Structures are given as C-alpha cells and as structure tokens.
Amino acid sequence: MNAIEIRNVTKRYGKLVALDRVTFSVEEGTVFGLIGPDGAGKTTLHQILTTLLAPDEGTAAVAGLDVARDFRKLRTQIGYMPERFSLYPDLTVSENLHFFASLFGVDVKDNFDLIAPIFSQLSRFPDRMAGALSGGMKQKLALSCALIHRPKVLFLDEPTTGVDAVSRSEFWDMLPALKERGITILVSTSYMDEAERCERIALINKGKILDADTPERLVEGLGGNLYSASCGDMYPLLEALRRYPGVNDCYTFGAALHLVADEGFNPDEAARKLEQSGLAEVRIRPAKGNIEDLFIKLAKNDG
Amino acid sequence: MSIFQSLVKKEVLHLVRDFRTVTVVLVMPVVLLLLFGFAISTEVNNVRVVAVTDRHTDETRLIADRFRANPYFTFGGTVSYREAESLLRKGKADAAVVFRTEAGRLKLQIVTDASNTTMAQTSAAYIEGVANSSANAADKSAAAVVADTLYNPQLKSAYNFVPGIMGMIFILICAMMTSVSIVSEKESGTMNLLLVSPVRPRTIILGKLVPYFLLSCVILTLMLTLSYTVLEIPFSASVVHVVWVSILYVALALALGLLISAVASTQVSALLVSGVMFMLPVVLMSGMIFPVENMPLPLQWLSCIIPARWYISAMRVLMVQQLPVTYVLTEVAVLSGMTLAVLALAIKKFNAQKR
Amino acid sequence: MDKEIAISVKELTKKFGDFTAVDRINLQVKKGEIFGFLGANGAGKTTAMRMLCGLSYPTSGSGTVAGYDIFRQAEEIKRHIGYMSQKFSLYEQLTVWENLNLFATIYGMPAKKIKEKAGEAFRTLGMEDMRNVLVREIPLGWKQKLAFTAATLHSPDIVFLDEPTGGVDPATRRRFWEMIYRASSEGMTVFVTTHYLDEAEYCSRVSIMADGRIKALDSPAALKRLYRAATMDEVFRTVAKGATRE
C-alpha cells in the first residue's frame, strides 16, 4: 500500500503555477526524497500534504486519507517539521515537547521510546529555553516534537538547509531508525548529494516533477555520453570545450569539468586538439554521473 | 490536561516570560490614570489677572476684591491699558479685565492670552462668573448668570479622563497584544504546526483570546480600584454596570484584535494597523480629549464607528453621573452590534485564510 | 604595504564575555585569489567575516583588509569592499535598475559611470529586457546574479560572499561560479563561504574553521593530499568532525 498518493495536483498563486500536475506515490515505510532548488514547489507540496493548503486541481491522499476530505482525521496521523525552526523559543525544551504532545492528546511517556535516540542529548537540559539551543539541538527538538504522537507519515521540509556538511550527515543518520519503526518519511532538500540517502526520489523543478525512481536507476538513465575533463587551467578549458563541436553542455563538477557530448564524440581526439590549441595536460575520460548531472540535463530539456 | 488548558497554559507562559511587556501593560494604566488624574489637569489654577479701569467705583473695587479673595486667581492689581497689554505679551499675566463705564453702566471686557486655548476659555468663563456674581451683589437689577455644575462639582479632570483612559487601554491590550501574539505565531511558523495538529482552529483562537481576556479583567479591576479610591470617584451601585459594559467592550477589542491578525501577515503590520487605525482615532476622536460635540459634523459622524466613543460615553454616564444603565442603552446596543459584526467578520477571514 | 596581499590578519580574536567566538586566527589572502572560508555551523565564520568587513571590532589581534587597518580604518574598508549575503541582498520592491543604481550611488559612483557599468552588466548577464522589472518578480537564480552585480559594480578590491548559492539549482549555481571566476580573473579578490563542498574545489585556497580556530588552510589539492581524501567533502568531514561546539 502507498503511504502517499498524489494525482495531478496543481496549485496556482495568481499567475504563478507553483505545482503543475504533480503525480507520484510513496510506498509505505520508505524514505522518499523530494529534490529540487528553492522555488521549485517543495514547500507548497508539503503544505498540501499536511492539509495546510488545498490543491486547485487533482487529489492527494496520505495514509489512505484524502487531504481535502478527511483532513481532520489525517492530522492525527502525520508529523510535520517545517523549513524554519518553528517551536516556541521562550518555552523550555520540556515545555515544548509536552505542549505538542498535549495538542495530539498523547502522553510524552507513552511515546518516549520512539524519540529517545534523538532526544537523548536534549534530556540533559530539559529546562533550557528552546531559543538558547544550538542549531543542531533545535533541529533535534523540532524532530522530537513532530514525532511525539507517533505519526504514520513524517514530513520534513528542507531539514538540512543552511546546515554544515557534518550536521547534515548526522541528521540523515537519524532517519533509518524511524523507518525501521514503520514511519514513512517524505523529505525535501535542495542538496542534490543527499539523494543517495533516500530509497526513492522525485526531482522537482518549477513546479513539475522531472522524474521519480530510485537514485541508482535514475542515474543509469543518464546514458554514456558523459565525460570528465581536467587540465592545468580550468576556466579556459571550460570555454574551449563549450565551443568544441559535438559538446552539448559543459559545466564545472568539483575539481573537474563534466561534459555532455553527442554519440560520435571522441575524447582522446578532443584532448589532443585542445592541447594543440595551447592548453596543457588536457584529460578527458568517460565519467559516471550523479543526480546533479541528471538534474542539469532534465532541467535543461524542460527549458 | 485538555488541549485547551495546555494552549492557555502556553500563552500564560509566554506572558510571564515576557516580563517587560507584562510590566508595561500593568504599570501603564496606573501611571496614565495618576498622570491624568493629578499632574496633567485642565482645571485652571492661579490665573494671573490684572484689572484696567478708567474710573474707580465701588463696583470695580468690589470686583477687584473678589478676584483677590478667590483662590483660583492671583490678582495683579490695577494697571493702565498699555501696561496690561505688555504684561499679556510677556506672559506675565493670563488675563485682563477691562472696566468701562458707558452711559452710567459698568461694562466688562475680558482679554485673555489665548495661546493656550483651553486655559483661555476656562479662565474667561471663571472671570465672567466672578464678575457677574459681583455685579449681581452690587446691582440687583443686572441679569444674573447662575451656573451650577452637576455630577462633577469640583470640575475634576480625572472624571473626564478615567473613561477615556479605560477606552484606550483595552484597545491597546486586547486588540494590539492579541493580534501581535497571533501574527507572531504566523511569522515563526508555529501557527502551521498548530493547524496541522488535530486542534480545531476555533480552539486555537479561543486559547489565544482567553488569556488576554483574563489579563484585561485584572487591569479592569486595577483601574476601577484606583478610580474609586485614589481618584475618589464616588462609589455607587452603578459599578456593576460599569463592570459588565467594560467586559462587553473588552470582548469587542478582542474581536478587533482577531480581525487584525487575520488581515496582517507580519507583527509590524499588526502593530501599525492596531496602532494607527485604532489607537489614534481613540485618542483623537472618541471624546477622550476633545469633546465630540465640538467637532465638525462629518467628523462627528465618523466618530460613530469608533468603538471607544460609545464606551467612553457610556462610562461617563455610569461612572461619573452614576445614572442607571437604562440611560446608556444606545451605547450598549451599538457596542454589542459591533462586537457581533467584528467577530463574525474575523472568524470568516480566519477560515478563509486556510484555503 | 604589500601590493599583492588583499587580506592579512594576525592572531585575530573576538570574545563575547567568556565565550571566544574567534580564537587567534591567522590568514593571508592574495590579490585576485578565490578564497574559500569554510567551517562547521557555529565555528565562528560569521563573526570572523564581520570583523573583516569592518562591521565589528576584534577583541585583540591585528590585520588589514584592502590595505586598511581593521581597527582604525573600518570606514575605509567598507568603501573598498563589496558584500553579498544570501539572506539580504536586494530590495524586492525596487526594479532591477533601481537596485543597481541605489547600491552604486551608496558607494559614491558618479551617475554617468553607473549608467555605463550597469549597461555593460545587463549585456553580459543577458538581462537587458529585465531592467524595469521589480526584483520580487524575477527568479531566484537571476536575483543572485543581480545581487553579485550590485555588490561588485563599484569595482571593489575584495568581494565578500556569504553563502551566495544556498538553495539554487545546480545549473544556476555553476553559472554563478562562472561570474566569480570572471571577477577573479579581472583581479578582484573573492572571499566566499559555502556549504556546498564541491564549490570548495573551485577555490584557489581554502580554510576550514572549527571551534573558533582555523584547523586547515591550503589549496584544495594540497588539503586532499594531506588528508588522503578524494574530495573536499571528505577533507571537511575529517577536519570538522573533531569540533566540540556547535
């Protein structure tokens, strides 16, 4: 059974189409990533699925309940962690937790086992004001508050935005334990490299779903015409490759360049020709792409 | 603990933790009451008056004596017309009484320094009163002006200000604080968390209104106690009506706060809307400082939509005149009507927001 | 003063009460360099950057930015740098042109020069038809490029970029970095913070802060050799993992 079922959901704000016939489904008990840049419609979709907004067209169901019709019942089944830190800074750690528990009519004690691994560091200072916590601690508290009523589906809207690489990684490390407990997780992010932390992902851009599948299968779909290029002086190489016949796209990729070429592209020949034109130590070899390459390709085709 | 209780508890915690705001909210009414009640008064004391006369008669001497004896005046003696003019110009005298004898009858002219209009009007009226009573005593045939001040015989300005300050404070606390507290939850995103929980929107609203309602009741008690003790407003049975009409007004102010919070999306705009649209008109047009009856007609009509105007006028009748509640039925009806209308609109707006 | 040094600080320290936010940092940034200023959350990056921009005074230490002393010539520093942050960059209710004109005027550019430079910028960005569009109506990617243009229109010696590419799609992010390259090749020094570690690879040199101190500073290639890592991401993890405060 699918925990989330979205069919042709469209949402407009005046002239702006925030979501354009969005369709995908999330299997129960998976970590599903919604990946796309700011303004792609990730937050709007989250707000529709958490019953804060109604779609203009299309239907969506979470945990088997329609988001528009059964929203009252649905609200007891979902946990939501919005993009910004949304707790009461002038209430203490324990007051925040108890407050959110009481909203759902549950007792903190009854569900503490679920949040215990996340909350452990926080339980050392239950009387500290939430506003005085460090960034990582705030996030742990927010996650605890979103989980305290044992939701079936957890919505995390950009939990790692503005967070450094180490803390981001720590955050992702918390999710598998929740999944083990049967909680379905829909998490959105603008960091493409986080795709590999999800079982399945949907790429979203300008309100449209570009593709949805497992990260591995999506990357396979990239095809074999991707090459990695490097040389002593990268910027001139980038400009030279963009002008080179048969190269469709060329962009920086970490310490190297990635180029997308036509079928008949010969990397060795290209390297030789570029060296003749004055560039030193040009190396071009086939590369294995990742989600970022795919996103660039799909977004380009989409216009 | 029920959901509602924990919502109220949370709100109380916010208030208690925000110690500065609560202190301001509790201290401000007290300070305003005492300030307007004692320090700032429109009562006229120590009017410095000089007399100008072409001919001394028994009559003028009698009037001058009266000024000398009256505690409200400091009599500066009889001077020439030119001197009087220069004293007024230099600000050393507030008023001059010019006696002229025309066709054997004494004529009075009162010249006042009107750079402070309130002062000028009041002192002119006083001088007239003193002069007339003297004239009356001297010449029984002169037309007597008998002025009798009812309800507020000492003309204490506190009587005038207490209803006004109450009208202002409740708008401030209920409308401003409620709207800012709701809007701040919208801004911080916590409102979304409340809305995605099973709590009904009306419970959320009620959880916001009740704490501020209770706070207003505390302030009402505080202000009434002060009014009846320190400011010595005569206590009577009408206090019951004062209380319930005030509570009606508080409810109206809360509804206004709710309406503002449904319209405004940032705390700043909530403050501006409640401050500019409600506070200023309350001060300027409710009759708190300037009597409504003295305003141009269009402004008088405009003042009718200001809740505080009706509340203040009801409070004057109930607190100062101590008349039974039947004398303020219009005001009560208008306030009730407004409360219902604003509440209906606010709830409609609040629900419309979601979708 | 050494003409080739854009930023030079020695033992720079900032304390807030008992808390040492920045603890005796030393660094030199060469002219025309793209310097990546990395660090974990709460490592003291923002505090250090504020001191370099002349927005706050150090508790102790010394340094020069664009040749001006950070203690005595903070106002001069501000005149010779550009600053762009992700959080605040442009006025949403002004048009593209009004924004550029405003920032250039603040930096004392003559009107004729503003027209000339802005016209040039619009051409390179391909934004000529967007001149009179309100900033709130243009897409995020454009906004970021525009913010960079606004921060550099007065040709500052150094431009400080505080997480300039947060939340931007991968293609736009790359085009943004090409703008950085262009500015740097024209001699502008770029001082940039980011959470995208692939972007750290594009920098000439990189420093990594943790617990208020600079734990590593070198070119990406040298750092990768030193930490035997394949990517800057691994380097960062190794260096930042030891951090005790958040």
One domain for residues A68 and A206: yes
> Is the confidence at residue B355, as pLDDT, over 60?
no
- Place A213 in a pLDDT band, splitting at 50, 70 and 90: very high
One domain for residues A210 and A225: no
The residue with greater pLDDT, C7 or A236, is: C7
d(CA B246, CA B176): 17
* AA letter at B132: N
Residue with tokens 């059974």: A1
Cα B108 to its chain centre, rounded Å, is 35
d(CA C162, CA B7): 39
**What's the pLDDT tens digit per position in B82-96?**
888 888 888 888 888
Quote the tokens at residue B131. Answer: 């002069």
> Is the confidence at residue C13, as pLDDT, over 60?
yes
Angle between helices A291-302 and C170-185 in degrees, nearest 10: 100
Cα C85 to its chain centre, rounded Å, is 8
Provide the chain C residues 79-98 that lie in CB contact (below 8 A) with chain A: none
Q: What does the mean pLDDT of chain C come to?
A: 89
One domain for residues A157 and A252: no
* B21 min Cα distance to partner chain A (Å): 14
Quote the tokens at residue B71. Answer: 């505690």
In this structure, are residues A241 and A247 in contact, taking their beta carbons and an 8 Å threshold? yes
One domain for residues A26 and A53: yes
One domain for residues A163 and A238: no
- pLDDT (0 to 100) of residue B146: 46
ipTM associated with this complex: 0.82
**DSSP state, residue C185:** H
Which residues of chain B neighbour A76 with C-beta distances below 8 Å?
A: 198
Quote the tokens at residue C196. Answer: 């995208």
Q: Over range B111-136, report the average pLDDT.
A: 72
- pLDDT (0 to 100) of residue B101: 76
- pLDDT (0 to 100) of residue C245: 64
One domain for residues A152 and A27: yes
- pLDDT (0 to 100) of residue B140: 43
In this structure, are residues A161 and A190 in contact, taking their beta carbons and an 8 Å threshold? yes
Where does residue B79 rank: exposed (0-12), middle (13-18), buried (19+ CB within 10 A)? middle
**What's the pLDDT tens digit per position in C74-87?**
889 988 999 998 76
Residue A39 DSSP SS3: coil
In this structure, are residues B228 and B240 in contact, taking their beta carbons and an 8 Å threshold? no
**What's the pLDDT tens digit per position in B165-199?**
888 888 888 888 899 999 999 888 898 889 888 88
- pLDDT (0 to 100) of residue B322: 79
* B13 min Cα distance to partner chain A (Å): 7
**DSSP state, residue A165:** H
Tell which residue, C129, C106, A75, A263, has the closest CA to residue B354. Answer: A75
Using CB atoms, which residue from A90, A95, A105 is nearest to B3? A105
Q: Over range A278-283, report the average pLDDT.
A: 88
Substitution target from C87, C168, C174, C204 for chain A, most A beta carbons within 10 A? C174
Provide the chain C residues 190-229 that lie in CB contact (below 8 A) with chain A: 195-198, 201-202, 220-221
Tell which residue, A52, A35, A41, has the closest CA to residue A9. Answer: A41
Show which of A192, A215, A238 is a domain's final residue: A215
Q: Over range C43-52, report the average pLDDT.
A: 91
Percent of chain C whose predicted confidence (pLDDT) is above 90: 55
**What's the pLDDT tens digit per position in B22-54?**
888 888 888 888 887 776 555 566 778 888 887
d(CA C239, CA C246): 14
| Beta carbons of B13 and A86 less than 8 Å apart | no
| Beta carbons of C201 and A161 less than 8 Å apart | no
> Is the confidence at residue C152, as pLDDT, over 70?
yes
In this structure, are residues A36 and A204 in contact, taking their beta carbons and an 8 Å threshold? yes
Chain A, nearest residue to B207 by Cα: A103
Which residues of chain B neighbour A82 with C-beta distances below 8 Å?
A: 189, 192-193
**CATH of residue A137:** 3.40.50.300
**DSSP state, residue A132:** G
**DSSP β-bridge partners for residue C13:** C60
d(CA C214, CA C170): 29
- Place B353 in a pLDDT band, splitting at 50, 70 and 90: low
- Place A218 in a pLDDT band, splitting at 50, 70 and 90: very high
> Is the confidence at residue B2, as pLDDT, over 70?
yes
In this structure, are residues A39 and A55 in contact, taking their beta carbons and an 8 Å threshold? no
Q: Over range A259-277, report the average pLDDT.
A: 91
Provide the chain C residues 21-80 that lie in CB contact (below 8 A) with chain A: 39-42
- Place A42 in a pLDDT band, splitting at 50, 70 and 90: very high
A in contact with C (at least 3 C-beta pairs within 8 A) = yes
- pLDDT (0 to 100) of residue B144: 41
d(CA A220, CA A216): 6
* AA letter at B123: S
Residue A246 DSSP SS3: coil
* A64 min Cα distance to partner chain B (Å): 17
Tell which residue, A110, A99, A122, has the closest CA to residue A174. Answer: A122
Supply angle C-alpha A133, A136, A142, rounded to 5: 75
Substitution target from A102, A106, A144, A161 for chain B, most B beta carbons within 10 A? A102
Using CB atoms, which residue from A164, A235, A300 is nearest to C195? A164
d(CA C152, CA A98): 50
> Is the confidence at residue A191, as pLDDT, over 80?
yes
d(CA B342, CA B171): 14
Alpha helices in chain A, H assignment, sequence order = 42-49, 71-74, 93-103, 108-119, 135-147, 165-180, 215-220, 234-243, 267-276, 291-302
The residue with greater pLDDT, B100 or B179, is: B179
Instruction: Tell me which residue range forms the domain holding A279.
Output: 221-302
What do you get for the CA distance between the two ends of chain C, in Å?
37
- pLDDT (0 to 100) of residue B287: 66
> Is the confidence at residue B251, as pLDDT, over 90?
yes
Using CB atoms, which residue from A51, A82, A91 is nearest to B10? A91
- pLDDT (0 to 100) of residue C97: 92
- pLDDT (0 to 100) of residue B71: 76
- pLDDT (0 to 100) of residue B212: 92
What is the phi-psi region of residue B246: left when phi exceeds 0, alpha when psi lies from -120 to 50, beta otherwise?
A: alpha
| Residue C216: its H or E element | strand C213-218
One domain for residues A210 and A95: yes
d(CA B256, CA C149): 46
| Beta carbons of B196 and A76 less than 8 Å apart | no
Q: What does the mean pLDDT of chain B come to?
A: 80
| Beta carbons of C171 and A299 less than 8 Å apart | yes
In this structure, are residues A94 and A151 in contact, taking their beta carbons and an 8 Å threshold? no
| Beta carbons of C40 and A251 less than 8 Å apart | no
Cβ atoms within 10 Å, residue B189 = 15
One domain for residues A62 and A142: yes
Torsion angles phi and psi, residue C167, rounded to 5: 75, 5
Asked if A302 has any chain C CB less than 8 Å from its own CB, the reply is: no
The residue with greater pLDDT, B26 or B158, is: B26
Torsion angles phi and psi, residue A90, rounded to 5: -95, 10
> Is the confidence at residue B128, as pLDDT, over 80?
no
Q: Over range A173-177, report the average pLDDT.
A: 94
> Is the confidence at residue A225, as pLDDT, over 70?
yes
**DSSP β-bridge partners for residue B333:** none
d(CA C127, CA C147): 13
Q: What does the mean pLDDT of chain A come to?
A: 92
d(CA B180, CA C99): 32
In this structure, are residues B224 and B232 in contact, taking their beta carbons and an 8 Å threshold? no
d(CA B239, CA C82): 66
In this structure, are residues C159 and C183 in contact, taking their beta carbons and an 8 Å threshold? yes
* C118 min Cα distance to partner chain A (Å): 24
**What's the pLDDT tens digit per position in C202-231?**
899 999 999 999 999 999 999 999 999 999
* Sequence-distant (≥ 6) Cβ neighbours of residue A192 within 8 angstroms: A35, A290, A291, A292, A295, C170
Three-state helix/strand/coil letters over chain B? CCHHHHHHHHHHHHHHHCHHHHHHHHHHHHHHHHHHHHHCCCCCCCEEEEEEECCCCHHHHHHHHHHHHCCCEEEEEEECHHHHHHHHHHCCCCEEEEEEEECCEEEEEEEECCCCHHHHHHHHHHHHHHHHHHHHHHCCCCCCCCCCCCCCCCCCHHHHHHHHHHHHHHHHHHHHHHHHHHHHHHHHCHHHHHHHCCCCHHHHHHHHHHHHHHHHHHHHHHHHHHHHCCCCCCCCCCHHHHHHHHHHHHHHHHHHHHHHHHHCCCHHHHHHHHHHHHHHHHHHHCCCCCCHHHCCHHHHHHHCCCHHHHHHHHHHHHHHCCCCHHHHHHHHHHHHHHHHHHHHHHHHHHHHHHC
Tell which residue, B318, B284, B324, B329, has the closest CA to residue B159. Answer: B318
Which residues of chain A neighbour B2 with C-beta distances below 8 Å?
A: 102
- pLDDT (0 to 100) of residue B354: 53
Q: Which chains touch A (3 or more CB pairs under 8 A)?
A: B, C
d(CA C54, CA C157): 14
Which residues of chain B neighbour A151 with C-beta distances below 8 Å?
A: none
Tell which residue, B238, B247, B239, has the closest CA to residue B332. Answer: B247
d(CA C207, CA C52): 15
* Sequence-distant (≥ 6) Cβ neighbours of residue C238 within 8 angstroms: C227, C229
> Is the confidence at residue B142, as pLDDT, over 50?
no
Q: Over range B261-280, report the average pLDDT.
A: 82
One domain for residues A185 and A269: no
**CATH of residue A268:** 3.30.70.100
Using CB atoms, which residue from B13, B18, B192 is nearest to A86? B192
Tell which residue, C91, C168, C170, C84, has the closest CA to residue C137. Answer: C91
Domains of chain B: 3-40+156-354 (no CATH), 47-138 (3.40.190.10)
Quote the tokens at residue B121. Answer: 């009007």
One domain for residues A210 and A64: yes
Show which of A215, A247, A266 is a domain's final residue: A215
d(CA A174, CA B260): 41
Chain A, nearest residue to B353 by Cα: A53
d(CA A21, CA A7): 7
- pLDDT (0 to 100) of residue B250: 94
Q: Over range B191-210, report the average pLDDT.
A: 89
* C240 min Cα distance to partner chain A (Å): 7
In this structure, are residues B349 and B265 in contact, taking their beta carbons and an 8 Å threshold? no
The residue with greater pLDDT, B119 or B35, is: B35
Give the length of chain B: 355
One domain for residues A41 and A167: yes
- pLDDT (0 to 100) of residue B143: 42
> Is the confidence at residue C3, as pLDDT, over 80?
no
- pLDDT (0 to 100) of residue B158: 61
- pLDDT (0 to 100) of residue B154: 53
The residue with greater pLDDT, A57 or A232, is: A57
Count structural domains, chain A: 2
Using CB atoms, which residue from A76, A90, A102 is nearest to B17? A90
- Place C2 in a pLDDT band, splitting at 50, 70 and 90: low
Q: How far is CA B56 from CA B81, B101, B295, in A?
A: 14, 10, 43
Show which of A215, A244, A268 is a domain's final residue: A215
In this structure, are residues A261 and A248 in contact, taking their beta carbons and an 8 Å threshold? yes
One domain for residues A105 and A19: yes
Residue A268 DSSP SS3: helix
- pLDDT (0 to 100) of residue A112: 94
d(CA B185, CA B208): 11
- pLDDT (0 to 100) of residue B118: 66
- pLDDT (0 to 100) of residue B286: 67
Least confident of A156-160, B31-35, C103-107, C195-199: B31-35
| Beta carbons of A38 and C140 less than 8 Å apart | yes
